[in-house]
């Protein structure tokens, strides 16, 4: 396995961390499928699941930036667009047997750890200090199992 969830990947934001954990779980699912020699069809389904989850996460993260007035939104969105282009190129190459799923897994693992360290931590720092709050912030504890936001009570 190329990546495991550990404290170094934590950003401190419950929604961002929950989505990152899900991505790591899907990367692990792909890793297990590769190591247990699942069929190309099964691998293809998992790869599509990964792509859809990455797309969802990017949209969610971009909404969080928009809701809190993050000045670097467009630059961060460009990073997401670049990754999606690369990701879709890998998927196409795998489908045409010009790339191995292991290479995709390695790429995704490296990308996630670098992206969190270099970019997502800045977003989370901004969110934590922004006077504009994420729309569903008060619901995080209920749905993500996170501690209540400062100054809020559990109902």
Question: What does 48-88 look like in DSSP terms, one character per residue?
Answer: HHHHHHHHHHHHHHHHHHHHTT-TTHHHHHHHHHHHHHHHH
pTM of the model: 0.88
Percentage of residues in the chain having pLDDT higher than 90: 78
Per DSSP, helices labelled H in 68-139 are 73-95, 101-115, 121-129
Specify the pLDDT at position 117: 87
50-67 pLDDT, tens digit per residue, is 999 999 999 999 999 999
Chain Cα centroid distance, residue 135: 20
- 14-144: CATH architecture: Up-down Bundle (1.20)
């Amino acid at each position: 396995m190329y990546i495991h969830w550990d404290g170094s990947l934590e950003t401190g934001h419950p929604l961002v961390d929950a989505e990152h954990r899900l991505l790591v779980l899907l990367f692990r699912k792909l890793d297990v499928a590769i190591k247990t020699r699942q069929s190309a069809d099964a691998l293809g389904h998992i790869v599509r699941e990964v792509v859809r989850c990455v797309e969802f996460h990017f949209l969610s993260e971009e909404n969080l930036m928009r809701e809190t007035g993050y000045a670097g939104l467009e630059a961060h969105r460009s990073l997401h667009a670049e990754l999606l282009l690369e990701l879709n190129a890998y998927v196409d190459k795998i489908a045409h047997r010009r790339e191995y799923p292991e290479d995709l897994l390695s790429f995704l693992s490296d990308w996630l750890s670098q992206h969190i360290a270099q970019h997502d931590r800045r977003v989370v720092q901004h969110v934590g200090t922004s006077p504009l709050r994420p729309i569903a912030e008060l619901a995080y504890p209920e749905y993500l199992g996170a501690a209540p936001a400062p100054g809020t009570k559990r109902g």
